[in-house]
Structure 1
Amino acid sequence: MIRLLKFFWWSGVAIFCAALLSFSGAYLYLSPSLPSVESLRSIQLQIPLRVYSHDQKLIAEFGEMRRAPIAFADIPEDFIAALLSAEDDNFSQHHGVDFSSLLRAATQLLKTGQIQSGGSTITMQVAKNFFLTSERSFSRKITEILLALQIERELSKEEILELYVNKIYLGHRAYGIEAAAQVYYGKPIGELSLAQMAMIAGLPKAPSAFNPLVNPTRSKERRDWILGRMHRLGKIDQASYLAAIEEPIAASYHVPKPELSAPYIAEMARAEMVGRYGSEAYTEGFRVYVTVPSNLQESANRALHEGLRSYDQRHGYRGPEARLAELPREQWPARLAQQRSLGGLEPALVTQVEQSGILVMLRNGEEQAVTWTSMQWARPFLNSNSMGPVPRKPADIVQPGDIIRVKRLDDDRLVFAQLPAAQSALVTLDPANGAIRALVGGFSFEQSNYNRATQAKRQPGSSFKPFVYSAALDNGYTAASLVNDAPIVFQEAGMAEAWRPKNDNNTFLGPIRLREALYRSRNLVSIRLLQDLGINKTLSYIERFGFRREDLPGNLSLALGTANLTPMEIATGWAAFANGGYKIEPYLIERIDSRDGQQLFVANPRSVPGLTPLLPSSGVPSSESVPPSAEQIIDPRTSYILTSMLQDVITRGTGRRALALQRADLAGKTGTTNESKDSWFSGYNADLVTTVWSGFDQPASLGRNEYGGTVALPIWMSFMGEALKDRPQRLLPQPPGVVTLRVDPFSGRAATPGNPNAYFEVFKSEDTPPSMSEFDPSLQAPGSPLPIEEGAPLDLF
C-alpha cells in the first residue's frame, strides 16, 4: 500500500512537473510573439459614421457595426451581476484564468471527444476578441491563457470588463451592450429592466441561438437560467427574481431612426467623408455636422412632395400599382408586405369598395377607411394633355385587390394618392458663403438614389437669361435700353433649314426696354443681346459664375437656356446676383468631430465681405484661420440693377404668383424649355437663393399649360414662404455709383419735366441715358409691325 501511494504521489508530481515544463516551454516559445497588452488602453473600437444637421439632429448612420461605447461607471450593477453570473461568476477572484473551468472543459472533451466549452474567463475572451482569431486549437488556447494572465497584471478588473462589454457581438449588427439595448429595446442599457438586462447578458454565448427576435423561446430559457443563477449567487432577492421571470419577452427590432429625413444630404456627406478618409470613414466614429438646419430641410421636403403630388393629380390617375383580384385572398397580405413606403406615401390594399369610400389594409394588417372626397380628383390619365371622365363613385377608380397608395394626414386620416411619375429637385444656398441650407434630389431616395440636384444636367430655359442680361449690363446696356423684339431668321451653310426662333406666345412687341423684355421673357431680345455681345465674349463672361464652357452651347441658342446644367450649378451662379456680385463655392460639411469630440475639421469657406450668413458656424475655427474673401466676378452695381429687374418678374411678369408671399425682397425668374420638358424657378433675397427644377427623368412633356410658373414656382414659393417666415425683408443696399432718373418709356432717354409716361429707372452713373432732346422721332414705337430680318448669327462655331 505504501509503495502504491508512493507511485501515485510521484506520478502526480511527474504530471505536474511535465505540465509545468510544457507550460513554461510554451511560454518561452510564444512570449516573443505575444502582442503588447498596453495597446488595449488605447484601443480604437469600430464606431459608425454619424451625420448630423446644423442643429445636431441625427440624419444618418453608416457602418457595418452598430456600436456606442459605454464607460464602466455607466454600466448598471444589475447588468454586471447578470453578465458575471452567466459568463464568469469567479471573475473578481481569479487572475485571468479559472483552472477549475479549464479542467471541466478538458473533462468534457475527454468524455465526448468534442469541444463543448472553452472554459474561458471574461479576461480570456478579451484576449481572444482583441488579439486572436476564433480558431479552435491548443496553441491558440495556450496563447489566450498567456495573454489573459498578462492582461490581468496590467489592467484593472474594471478596465477589462469595460473592454469586454463594448467589444462583444450581440446579434443584428449590434456590437457592445449599449448598441444591443438600442437594437432590441430602443433605449439605453441603463433604462432596461432586470429581465431585459438578463436577456442581453445571455447573448454573448450564442447571439443567433439565444436571439429574442429569431428564437424567443430559447432566449427566454437562457434569460430565466441567468436570473436563477443570480438568485442562487445572492445577486438578487426572491421578489426580484419572481417578478423578472414573469416578465414577457418584449424585444423588437429597433433600427436607429433619423431625427431628420435628409437622405440625399446624408449620401453627399458620406461620399465626401469616404473621399477624405477612405474606409476608415465607416469605423473611426466620426461625427459629421452639415450646414443644413432641420427646419429648412423639412420645409424643402414638404414643398417638393406637395408640389409633385399637386402636379401629378392635375393629370389624373394612372391606375393601381398591382391588381391581385385573381390571386387567392390569403396571398394578398404577403404581396402587400413586399411594397415599401416612398416619399411619405404608404402602400395599401383595397379590401372593400363602397359608395362612401373604400376600406384598405395596411402592411401591419390594420384596416382603415379612405373617404370618397379624397378620391374625386382621380380622373383616368390618358396622356400628359388629357384625362378621362370625372369618376362618379369609388368603383370607377379601384376594385378589391388593387394595391394603391395612401397618405396619412396629421389627424391620422388616410387620403387617396399615387406615386408621382414626374420628379423634382430643390437646392438652397446661403449667398454669403455658399453653405447648402436645404437640398432634395427627388421624390424618394428609396425609389431612386439618383440625386437630381447635383447630377441631373438639364436645360434651364429662360432661367438662364439673367446671365446674358448681366453680360449686357456690364457691357454698356442699361435696364432702359431698347432692343427690337422682332422676328429674325438665321441661315448659314450646312443648315438643312433656317432657324426661326420665336417667343413663347409667338407674338412680337417691337422695340422694348431691357427691363420689360426680361420680366416678359422675350426670347428674341435675348438672342439679339447675345448676337451683339458676341458668343465668345459672352461665354468667357458667363464662365465667371462657375459654369464649364463645355456645358455651354457655342451658338445663339445659349440665350434661350439650351446649356446642360444641374440645379446646383444654376443656384451657384444665381448666388452672385443675391450677394452683390461674388462667386461662392457650395459646401456641405461644416464640422467633423472625432469619437472623443475633438474638432478635426471646421469649414472656412470663401465669404462675401460684409454679408452675414443666415446661420453662424457650428464649429470654432482655429485662431490662425482667417476667412478668405470670395472673388468679385461682376460689378456690384450690375447685381443691384439686375436684382431690381428680376423683382419685376415677380411683381409684373411670369413669377407673379409669388406675390402671394407678400414680400418685397424677392427676385427670381421662371424657365420652361421646348415642349415643357423642363420647368424651373430660381429666386432669392439676401438670405437665401433657391433653385427648383421639375420634369421627367426621361425627358417628356409635362403637359399643355405647364410651365416654370405652374410646376416649379409653387414648390419654390412653398419652401421660401416657410424658410423666410418671421424673418425681416432683406436685400442688399444700393451700392455707390448708382443713380435713379426719370425715363421716357418709348425712347429710353431721360424724360423731360412733365412727361406723364415717365418712370424711374436705375443706372450706373457712367451709363445714364441722354436727354429727350436727342431723341430720334423716326424710332418706331413699341408694338409697330417690323419686317423680318434676314441674317446670320455672329461668332457661331
Structure 2
Amino acid sequence: MLRAIGFLFSILLLLTMLGVGGGLYVLYHFGRGLPDYKQLADYNPPTVTRVHAGDGLLIAEYAVEKRVFVPITAMQKRVINAFLSAEDKNFYSHPGIDFLGAVRAMVTNLANMGTQRRLKGASTITQQVAKNFLLTNEVSLERKIKEAILAFRIERAFTKDRILELYLNEIYLGLGSYGVAAAALNYFNKSLGELSIAEVAYLAALPKAPNNYHPFRYPETARSRRDWVIDRMLDDGHVTLGEALEAKAKPLQVRRREDTKFARAEYFLEEVRRRILERYGYKGLYESGFSVRTSVDPRLQGIADAILGKGLRVYDRRHGWRGPITNINPGDNWARQVAAVPPPPGLMGWKRAVVLAVSDKNVDIGFPGGALGVIPWAELKWAREALKKGKLGPPVRRAGEVLAIGDVIAVENVTSSTPKLEDEKPLSYPPNTYALRQIPEIDGGIVALDPHTGRVLAMSGGYDFSISEFNRVTQAKRQPGSAFKPFVYLAALEQGFTPSTLVLDAPFVIDQGPGLGKWKPANYTKKFYGPSPMRLGIEKSRNLMTVRLAQSIGMEKVVAAAGRFGVMDNMPAQLAMALGAGETTLLDLTTAYAQLVNG
C-alpha cells in the first residue's frame, strides 16, 4: 500500500515538475522578442487636428482616426461600470488574466456546444490592451500566449486606471468611432456625461463586434445585446432593478451626430494644410490633435467667394454660350434620365434640367424628381454662340438657336429680371422661372488682408475647388503689369525725386541687339504728353514716363525695391520689368501693397 502511494506521489511530482518546466519553457520561448510594453507609458493616441477661423468657427478636421481623448478621471462612472460589466467584471482584482473567468467561459462554451449561442470570451481588458496596442489580430494559440504574458507585464508596470484609460480611448466602436467619447457623439450626439444607462450599455455592447450590433442593420440583435449588458450591470450592483427595467424598456434610439457647421474656405484651408504638413509632417497634421487658429474671417470669405464667382461668370457670359452639359433622348422616363446625369463640378447652387419643349421665346424644362419649370426669353437671349478667339456669333433671335429638346443644362431659379440700367425697374417672374447658366471656363483669384498685421482675412484661389485645386493666389505666377509701377516710383522717391519732378512723356526706343528689333513701349492712349509731374505719371499710369524714370534712376534700384517688398526675387534688371513684365503671385503683390499702406 505504501509502495503504491509512493509510486503515485512520484508520478504527481514528476508531472508537476514537467508542468513547471513546460510553463517556464513557454514563458521563455514566447516571452522573447515581445514588443516593449513600457512604450504604453508615453502613449498618446492619434487625435483630431482642428482648424478654426479667426472667429473660432471650425473650418476642418484632419485625422486618421477620429478620436477624442478623455482622461479616466473625467469619465462618468456609469460609463466605466458598463464596460467593466460587459467586458471584465473582475478587472480590479485579477493580475491580468482572469483564471476563474476563463474556467467559467470554458464550461459555458462546452455546455452550449452544438447550439447557436455565441461563444463566451475570456480575454480581460488588460489582454485586449496588449492585443490592440502591441500585437496583431491573428487568431492563434501563439498570439493568445503572448497576449497573456504581456498582460502580466503590463499589470506590473501600470495602474489599473491607466490600463482602463488606454482601453476606453483606443477601442473601435463602429461608425468611425475610436474611443468612447467619439462613440457617444456619433451614436447619440452627446458627451459622455450626458449618456443614459441604456446608452452606455449599448456602447459597452459594441467592443466585441460593432458591425454585428449595428443599430440600423441589426436593430433587434443590437437591442438584445444592450439588454444583456444592462442585466450584467444589475448583477454587479451598478444599477438598481428599477433602473434596469426602465433602461431595458427604452427603444434603441440612435441620434447621429449633427452636421458640424464648417466655415467654407477651401483654398485658404488647403494652403494652411500644406504649410502644417511641411512644418510638422504627416503625423503632426493627422495624429497630433493640433488646435489651429487661423486669420480667415468667414464673413469676408463669403463675400470674396461671391464677388470672384460673379465676376468670372459675367466675364465668361460675355464670351458666349458653349453648349449644354450633354444631350439625352427624353421619353416618359425623362426625370430618371436627367437624374442619372452626374452633376458637373462647379454647379454649386444651380440645378440640372432637361429641355422638354422649345418655342420662339420660351423653353420648358424638367428636373430630376419630375418638377417642371420655364426659361423666359429675357434669361436666354444672352447665349450667343461662342466662336474661336473670343468672338461671338450673331444675336439670338429664337430660343431654338440656343437649346434643343433633350439638352441637359444648368439653370438657376430667379424671381425677377436683372435691370440693365440703374433707373430701370426689375420685371417680376412667376414661380418656377429659371435662368440659363454656364459654368465659367475662365478662372481667377482674390485675396484680402489686413495691411497693419498682414493677417489674410479672405482667400479664394479659383471659381470652385472641386474644378481645380490650383490656388491662383499663392501658386500662379502672373505678370503684374501696371500694378508694379508704384515700386518704380517708390524707388525714385528714395533717390531724391519728388512728386513734382518733371519726367518727359515722349517716344522711347531701345535697340535690343542684332536680330531683335527695337523695343518701343507706348502709353495706353497711344499719345505723348511731354514733360509731366511724376505724380501725374502714377495717377495716369503712363508707361513712357515709368520707363524713362526707371532708366534715370537705374533698374538696379527698382530691382532692390521689388526684392525688399517681396514682389519678386532675382528680378532681371531690364527696363521691361518696370512695366510689370516679370512674374509674381497675387499674394506677394497684395502683401507688398499692404506694406505701402503700413508705412
TM-score above 0.5, yes or no: yes
Shift of 1:21: 5.2
Residue by residue over 1:642-697, the C-alpha shift from the partner in whole angstroms, topping out at 9 and shown as x without a partner, is xxxxxxxxxxxxxxxxxxxxxxxxxxxxxxxxxxxxxxxxxxxxxxxxxxxxxxxx
Shift of 1:296: 3.3
More strand by share: 1
From 337, 362, 367, give the equivalent of 1:360.
367
**Taking structure 2 as the reference length, what is the TM-score of the superposition?**
0.78
Do the aligned partners of residues 352 and 329 (structure 1) sit closer, same or farther apart at CA in structure 2, a change above 3 Å counting? closer
Number of residue equivalences: 562
Shift of 1:521: 1.8
Mapped pair 1:124 → 2:130: no
Contact 2:205 2:225 in 1 (8 A): no
Corresponding residue for residue 722 of structure 1 = none
Matches of 2:99 and 2:569 in 1, distance apart? 76
Do the aligned partners of residues 373 and 109 (structure 1) sit closer, same or farther apart at CA in structure 2, a change above 3 Å counting? farther
**One-letter code aligned to 1:161:** L
From 308, 323, 326, give the equivalent of 1:322.
326
1:389-788 counterparts in 2 under 5 A? 389-390=395-396, 396-397=402-403, 399=405, 402-404=408-410, 406=412, 416=435, 417-550=437-570, 552-580=571-599
**One-letter code aligned to 2:60:** A
SS of equivalent to 2:70 = coil
Contact 1:124 1:144 in 2 (8 A): yes
Shift of 1:567: 0.6
Does 350-359 or 144-153 show the bigger shift? 350-359
Matches of 1:310 and 1:359 in 2, distance apart? 26
Do the aligned partners of residues 23 and 341 (structure 1) sit closer, same or farther apart at CA in structure 2, a change above 3 Å counting? farther
**One-letter code aligned to 2:340:** R
Do the aligned partners of residues 571 and 189 (structure 1) sit closer, same or farther apart at CA in structure 2, a change above 3 Å counting? same
Does 490-499 or 392-401 show the bigger shift? 392-401
Shift of 1:243: 2.1
Cα RMSD after superposing both structures? 4.3
Shift of 1:260: 1.6
Corresponding residue for residue 167 of structure 1 = 170
Percent identity, aligned pairs only? 34
Matches of 1:333 and 1:103 in 2, distance apart? 64
Contact 2:335 2:366 in 1 (8 A): no
Does 25-34 or 47-56 show the bigger shift? 25-34
Corresponding residue for residue 265 of structure 1 = 268
Do the aligned partners of residues 430 and 251 (structure 1) sit closer, same or farther apart at CA in structure 2, a change above 3 Å counting? closer
Matches of 1:258 and 1:367 in 2, distance apart? 30
Contact 1:352 1:360 in 2 (8 A): no
Do the aligned partners of residues 502 and 380 (structure 1) sit closer, same or farther apart at CA in structure 2, a change above 3 Å counting? same
Shift of 1:370: 7.5
Residue by residue over 1:728-780, the C-alpha shift from the partner in whole angstroms, topping out at 9 and shown as x without a partner, is xxxxxxxxxxxxxxxxxxxxxxxxxxxxxxxxxxxxxxxxxxxxxxxxxxxxx
Matches of 1:407 and 1:6 in 2, distance apart? 101
Shift of 1:127: 1.8
Do the aligned partners of residues 392 and 136 (structure 1) sit closer, same or farther apart at CA in structure 2, a change above 3 Å counting? same
**One-letter code aligned to 2:579:** L
Shift of 1:569: 1.8
Matches of 1:535 and 1:428 in 2, distance apart? 30
Shift of 1:239: 3.5
Corresponding residue for residue 240 of structure 1 = 247
Contact 1:319 1:380 in 2 (8 A): no
Contact 2:500 2:535 in 1 (8 A): yes
Corresponding residue for residue 421 of structure 2 = none
Matches of 1:78 and 1:373 in 2, distance apart? 67
Shift of 1:5: 13
1:24-39 counterparts in 2 under 5 A? 24-27=24-27, 39=39
SS of equivalent to 1:348 = strand
Matches of 2:244 and 2:18 in 1, distance apart? 46
Contact 1:487 1:502 in 2 (8 A): yes
**One-letter code aligned to 1:319:** G
Corresponding residue for residue 49 of structure 1 = 49
Mapped pair 1:335 → 2:340: yes
Gaps of 5+ in 2: 416-430
Matches of 1:322 and 1:6 in 2, distance apart? 97
More helix by share: 2
Residue by residue over 1:702-752, the C-alpha shift from the partner in whole angstroms, topping out at 9 and shown as x without a partner, is xxxxxxxxxxxxxxxxxxxxxxxxxxxxxxxxxxxxxxxxxxxxxxxxxxx
Do the aligned partners of residues 396 and 343 (structure 1) sit closer, same or farther apart at CA in structure 2, a change above 3 Å counting? closer
Corresponding residue for residue 224 of structure 2 = 224
**One-letter code aligned to 1:270:** R
Contact 1:344 1:407 in 2 (8 A): no
Matches of 1:191 and 1:39 in 2, distance apart? 33
Contact 1:375 1:394 in 2 (8 A): no
Shift of 1:577: 1.5
Contact 2:205 2:229 in 1 (8 A): no
Corresponding residue for residue 297 of structure 1 = 301
**One-letter code aligned to 1:132:** L
Shift of 1:402: 1.1
Do the aligned partners of residues 478 and 447 (structure 1) sit closer, same or farther apart at CA in structure 2, a change above 3 Å counting? same
Matches of 1:195 and 1:413 in 2, distance apart? 48
Residue by residue over 1:560-589, the C-alpha shift from the partner in whole angstroms, topping out at 9 and shown as x without a partner, is 211111112212322332122xxxxxxxxx
Corresponding residue for residue 277 of structure 2 = 274
Shift of 1:221: 1.6
Matches of 1:298 and 1:511 in 2, distance apart? 46
Matches of 1:55 and 1:319 in 2, distance apart? 42
**One-letter code aligned to 1:128:** K
Contact 1:47 1:283 in 2 (8 A): yes
Do the aligned partners of residues 45 and 296 (structure 1) sit closer, same or farther apart at CA in structure 2, a change above 3 Å counting? same
Matches of 2:583 and 2:184 in 1, distance apart? 50
**One-letter code aligned to 1:404:** A
**One-letter code aligned to 2:227:** L
Corresponding residue for residue 72 of structure 1 = 72
Do the aligned partners of residues 488 and 152 (structure 1) sit closer, same or farther apart at CA in structure 2, a change above 3 Å counting? closer
From 143, 148, 162, give the equivalent of 2:151.
148
Shift of 1:488: 3.5
**One-letter code aligned to 1:292:** V
Shift of 1:62: 2.1
Corresponding residue for residue 87 of structure 2 = 87
Contact 1:357 1:371 in 2 (8 A): yes
Corresponding residue for residue 666 of structure 1 = none
**Taking structure 1 as the reference length, what is the TM-score of the superposition?**
0.61
Contact 1:308 1:422 in 2 (8 A): yes
Gaps of 5+ in 1: 581-797
SS of equivalent to 1:145 = helix
Matches of 1:415 and 1:15 in 2, distance apart? 91
Residue by residue over 1:423-448, the C-alpha shift from the partner in whole angstroms, topping out at 9 and shown as x without a partner, is 12122333334333332221222221
From 125, 134, 138, give the equivalent of 1:135.
138
Contact 2:335 2:367 in 1 (8 A): no
